[in-house]
C-alpha cells in the first residue's frame, strides 16, 4: 500500500494533507497515510481521461470487453489481500465481503458480455426515400460514450459500489474513462482495487488515463472534479445530503452535466391486515433479519413499516422486537457513522407519543444498538421528519387506524428505492389503489419479501423518484445502468464508409439493429 493517488498509470503524492483509515473493530487507525490529491493531480487526471476518451474511439469493443475481464481476473488473484484490507477499514464480516466481491466480479463479467455483444448501443437505421414528398433522408443512430465520468462510491459498499463498482464498470463499458474520488473510509481497499484496474488497463492495451483513483478526505477534491469542464457526467452513491450537494454544484457549471446520484431511502413495507394474523412469525423473522443485515447499513434497509392496529399487529410488534433485540449488536462502518446513527436516533426518540424498544446491556465498541420505534398514523402525519433515513439498525413501525390512513401516510412520502407489500393475492386485489400509489413513489415493488438483497440482472431497477435518485429514468444496478453514461448521436446522409461499423450497410459486426 502506498497511500498515493493513481493519476492515470502514474503514482503521485504531491500534496501535504494526509489521512488514515480506521478499523472500527479494533477502534484504532490503520497505518497507511493517504495523501489527498492536489489541483495539479486533478488537472492531470482529467486531461489524461479526456485524451483517453478520444483514443478509446479507435479501440475495438472486443478489446474493451477483454479489459473488463482482465480486471475481474486481477481482482480474483488479489482477493485475499483486498478482503483483508476491506475488513480492516469497514468492520464488515468476511462473509459479507466475499459476497460483495462475487457481486463485483459478476458485474464485470456481465458488462464484458454486454460490450462483446455490442447491442447496448441500440443501433437504428431509417433508410432514405427520395421518392417521398418531401424526400426522406437516410438517418442512422446509435449510443456513444458521454465522456470522462467522475465516480463517488459509498462507505457501505467498498467493492460493489465503489472503485470498480457498478458506476465505474458501466462507464468503462460505455467507452468512458473514469476518475474515482476514492471514499476516504476505505481508501486502502480503493487503492488495491485501483492497482488491479490499472494493471488490467496496461495488459489490455488501454490508453493511459482510462482510469484514475484520487484520494480525498475533504470535499475540495470531489468539488473540483465535478466542476471541471472536461468532465461530462458524475456517478454518485451515498447520502441525500452529499448527492444533492454535488447535483447542485454540477448545475452551477457553465455547462451543466448529468449527476446520477443514488441516495438514501427508507423503503416502506406495508403489511395487509388479514394476512398479518396468519403470518406473524414468518414476517417478524423476515423483517428482523432484513433490518439487521450488515447492521442496517444498506440503502435498501427497511426503515418504515405500516400496519393496521389490531391484536395481531400488537403481537407482531412484540415478536419483531424480541427477535431483533436478541440478535448480537454489530460493528458499524466507522465511528463517525456510529455517532451519526446515535445522534439521529436520539433526536427521533424525542418525538412525543413515540414508543421505542432498544437493545439493552453492554455492546461492542462502535456497535449499533438495534431499535424499533412505534408511532400512530396520526403522529406520523404530524411529523414529516419521521420519514427521514437513519442509516443503521433502526426501523419505525407506523400503526394506522385503517388502510385509508396508511394510504394517506404514503401519499405524502418522498420517492423511494423500493416498497414492499406483504399479503395474499385476494387481499392485494382489494387494495389496488395502494399498488397504483406505490408505482408513483418507488423504483421497485417487492411482493411478500423484503427490500434487502438487490439481484444484479437486466430486469432489476435500482433507483426511484427523487430523493431516492436524481434521475428516476435510470437504474444503478444491472446492465441497463450503462445508459446513464451514453448519449445518442444521429448521422444524416452519412457516406457508408464514414459510418461507425455498427451502422454500415453490410452490418459487418453482425449485430441486431432496428431497421426501417
Ligand atoms: P456520503 O457521506 O454521502 O459519502 C459518499 C461520497 O460522497 C463520499 O466520497 C463523500 O466524501 C462524498 N460527499 C459527501 N458529501 C459531499 C459534499 N457535500 N461534497 C462533496 N462530496 C461529498 O455517504 P456514505 O456515508 O458514504 O454512505 C451512506 C449513504 O449512502 C446512506 O444514506 C445510504 O442509504 C446511501 N447508499 C445509497 C445507495 C443506493 O444505491 N441508492 C447504495 C449504498 C448507500 P467524504 O467521504 O469525503 O465525505
DSSP 361-429: S---TTEE--EEEEEEHHHHHH-GGGGS--SSSEEEEEEESSHHHHHHHHHTPPPEEEEEEES-HHHHH
Question: Would you state the pLDDT for residue 1?
Answer: 94
Contact 234, 149 (CB under 8 A): yes
- Ligand 1, residue 185: give the atom nearest the CA: 46
- Is the CB–ligand 1 distance for residue 481 below 6 Å? no
- For ligand 1, the distance from its centroid to the CA atom of residue 97, given in whole angstroms, is 19
- For ligand 1, the distance from its centroid to the CA atom of residue 96, given in whole angstroms, is 20
Q: Which of 100, 191, 262, 502 is catalytic?
A: 262
* Domain 269-447: homologous superfamily in CATH: Aldehyde Dehydrogenase; Chain A, domain 2 (3.40.309.10)
Omega into 134 within 30° of 0, i.e. cis? yes
Ordered per-residue pLDDT tens for the chain, 516 residues: 999 999 999 999 999 999 999 999 999 999 999 999 999 999 999 999 999 999 999 999 999 999 999 999 999 999 999 999 999 999 999 999 999 999 999 999 999 999 999 989 999 999 999 999 999 999 999 999 999 999 999 999 999 999 999 999 999 999 999 999 999 999 999 999 999 999 999 999 999 999 999 999 999 999 999 999 999 999 999 999 999 999 999 999 999 999 999 999 999 999 999 999 999 999 999 999 999 999 999 999 999 999 999 999 999 999 999 999 999 999 999 999 999 999 999 999 999 999 999 999 999 999 999 999 999 999 999 999 999 999 999 999 999 999 999 999 999 999 999 999 999 999 999 999 999 999 999 999 999 999 999 999 999 999 999 999 999 999 999 999 999 999 999 999 999 999 999 999 999 999 999 998
CA distance 167 to 462: 12
- Is the CB–ligand 1 distance for residue 186 below 6 Å? no
Laid out side by side, the sheet with 178-181 consists of 10-12, 5-7, 211-214, 178-181, 149-152, 233-237, 259-262
- Is the CB–ligand 1 distance for residue 246 below 6 Å? yes
**Domain edges within the chain:** 46-263+471-503, 269-447
Instruction: Determine whether 391 is exposed, middle or buried from the number of CB atoms within 10 Å of its CB (0-12, 13-18, 19+).
Output: buried
Tens-place pLDDT, residues 42-59: 999 999 999 999 999 999
Contact 172, 205 (CB under 8 A): no
**Nearest to 240, CA basis, from 461, 428, 468:** 468
- Is the CB–ligand 1 distance for residue 476 below 6 Å? yes
To test the pocket of ligand 1, the residue of 238, 340, 451, 465 to mutate (highest count of ligand atoms within 8 Å of its CB) is 238
Return the ∠ at Cα 435 (arms to 429 and 438), rounded to 5°. Answer: 170
Q: Which DSSP state fits 311?
A: H
- Is the CB–ligand 1 distance for residue 245 below 6 Å? yes
- Is the CB–ligand 1 distance for residue 222 below 6 Å? yes
* Domain 46-263+471-503: homologous superfamily in CATH: Aldehyde Dehydrogenase; Chain A, domain 1 (3.40.605.10)
Q: Which of 85, 196, 295, 299 is catalytic?
A: 299
CA distance 81 to 91: 15
Q: Could you count the other beta carbons within 10 Å of the beta carbon of residue 167?
A: 29
Q: Which DSSP state fits 182?
A: -
What would the grid cell of residue 185 be? 473510509
- Is the CB–ligand 1 distance for residue 183 below 6 Å? yes
CA distance 37 to 217: 9
Omega into 440 within 30° of 0, i.e. cis? no
Question: Which residues, 6 or more positions from 413, have their beta carbon under 8 angstroms from its beta carbon?
Answer: 268, 387, 441
Nearest CA to ligand 1 atom 35: 238
- Is the CB–ligand 1 distance for residue 53 below 6 Å? no
To test the pocket of ligand 1, the residue of 89, 168, 242 to mutate (highest count of ligand atoms within 8 Å of its CB) is 242
Let me know if 79 is a catalytic residue: no
CA distances from 288 to 71, 100, 292, 301, 391 (A): 37, 21, 6, 11, 16
Question: Would you state the pLDDT for residue 494?
Answer: 98
Question: Would you state the pLDDT for residue 516?
Answer: 82
- Is the CB–ligand 1 distance for residue 263 below 6 Å? yes
Question: Would you state the pLDDT for residue 452?
Answer: 97
Q: Is the pTM for the entire model greater than 0.95?
A: yes
User: Strand 233-237 to strand 259-262: parallel, antiparallel, or no bridges (unpaired)?
Assistant: parallel
CA distance 288 to 306: 15
- For ligand 1, the distance from its centroid to the CA atom of residue 24, given in whole angstroms, is 18
Nearest CA to ligand 1 atom 17: 242
Contact 5, 38 (CB under 8 A): no
Let me know if 262 is a catalytic residue: yes
Amino acid at each position: 500500500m502506498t497511500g498515493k493517488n493513481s493519476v492515470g498509470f502514474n503514482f503521485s503524492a504531491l500534496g501535504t494533507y494526509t489521512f488514515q483509515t480506521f478499523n472500527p473493530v479494533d477502534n484504532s487507525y490503520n497505518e497507511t497515510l493517504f495523501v489527498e490529491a492536489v489541483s495539479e493531480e486533478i488537472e492531470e487526471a482529467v486531461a489524461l481521461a479526456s485524451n483517453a476518451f478520444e483514443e478509446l474511439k479507435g479501440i475495438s469493443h472486443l478489446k474493451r470487453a477483454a479489459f473488463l475481464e482482465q480486471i475481474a481476473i486481477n481482482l480474483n488473484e488479489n482477493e485475499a489481500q483486498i478482503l483483508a484490507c476491506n475488513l480492516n477499514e469497514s468492520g464488515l464480516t468476511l462473509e459479507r465481503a466475499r459476497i460483495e466481491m462475487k457481486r463485483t466480479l459478476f458485474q464485470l463479467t456481465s458488462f464484458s458480455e454486454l460490450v462483446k455483444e455490442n447491442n447496448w448501443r441500440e443501433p437504428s437505421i431509417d433508410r432514405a426515400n427520395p421518392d417521398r414528398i418531401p424526400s426522406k433522408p437516410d438517418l442512422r443512430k446509435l449510443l456513444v460514450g458521454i465522456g470522462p465520468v467522475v465516480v463517488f462510491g459509498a462507505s457501505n459498499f467498498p467493492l460493489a459500489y465503489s472503485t470498480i463498482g457498478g458506476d465505474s464498470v458501466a462507464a468503462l463499458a460505455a467507452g468512458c474513462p473514469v476518475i474515482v474520488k476514492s471514499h476516504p473510509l476505505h481508501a486502502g481497499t480503493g487503492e488495491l482495487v485501483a492497482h488491479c484496474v490499472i494493471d488490467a488497463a496496461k495488459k489490455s492495451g488501454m490508453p493511459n488515463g482510462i482510469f484514475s483513483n484520487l484520494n480525498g478526505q475533504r470535499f475540495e477534491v470531489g468539488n473540483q472534479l465535478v466542476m471541471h469542464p472536461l468532465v461530462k457526467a458524475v456517478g454518485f452513491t451515498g447520502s441525500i445530503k452529499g448527492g444533492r450537494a454535488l447535483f447542485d454544484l454540477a448545475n452551477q457549471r457553465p455547462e451543466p452535466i448529468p449527476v446520477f446520484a443514488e441516495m438514501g431511502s427508507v423503503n416502506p413495507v406495508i403489511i395487509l391486515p388479514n394476512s398479518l394474523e396468519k403470518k406473524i412469525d414468518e414476517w417478524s423473522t423476515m423483517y428482523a433479519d432484513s433490518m439487521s443485515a450488515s447492521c442496517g447499513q444498506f440503502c435498501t434497509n427497511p426503515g418504515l413499516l405500516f400496519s393496521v392496529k389490531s391484536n395481531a399487529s400488537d403481537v407482531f410488534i412484540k415478536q419483531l422486537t424480541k427477535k431483533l433485540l436478541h440478535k448480537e449488536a454489530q460493528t458499524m462502518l466507522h465511528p463517525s457513522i456510529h455517532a451519526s446513527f446515535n445522534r439521529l436516533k436520539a433526536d427521533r426518540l424525542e418525538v412525543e407519543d413515540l414508543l421505542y424498544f432498544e437493545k439493552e446491556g453492554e455492546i461492542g465498541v462502535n456497535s449499533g444498538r438495534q431499535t424499533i420505534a412505534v408511532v400512530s398514523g396520526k403522529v406520523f402525519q404530524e411529523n414529516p421528519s419521521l420519514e427521514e433515513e437513519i442509516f443503521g439498525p433502526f426501523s419505525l413501525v407506523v400503526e394506522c387506524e385503517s388502510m385509508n390512513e396508511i394510504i394517506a401516510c404514503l401519499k405524502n412520502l418522498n420517492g423511494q428505492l423500493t416498497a414492499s407489500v406483504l399479503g395474499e393475492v385476494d387481499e392485494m386485489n382489494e387494495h389496488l389503489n395502494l399498488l397504483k400509489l406505490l408505482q408513483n413513489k418507488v423504483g421497485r415493488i417487492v411482493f411478500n419479501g423484503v427490500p434487502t438483497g438487490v439481484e444484479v440482472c437486466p430486469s432489476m431497477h435500482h433507483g426511484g423518484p427523487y430523493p431516492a435518485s436524481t434521475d428516476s429514468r435510470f437504474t444503478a444496478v444491472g446492465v441497463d445502468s450503462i445508459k446513464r453514461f451514453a448519449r445518442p448521436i444521429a448521422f444524416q446522409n452519412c457516406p457508408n464508409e464514414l459510418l461507425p461499423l455498427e451502422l454500415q450497410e453490410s452490418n459487418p459486426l453482425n449485430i441486431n439493429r432496428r431497421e426501417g
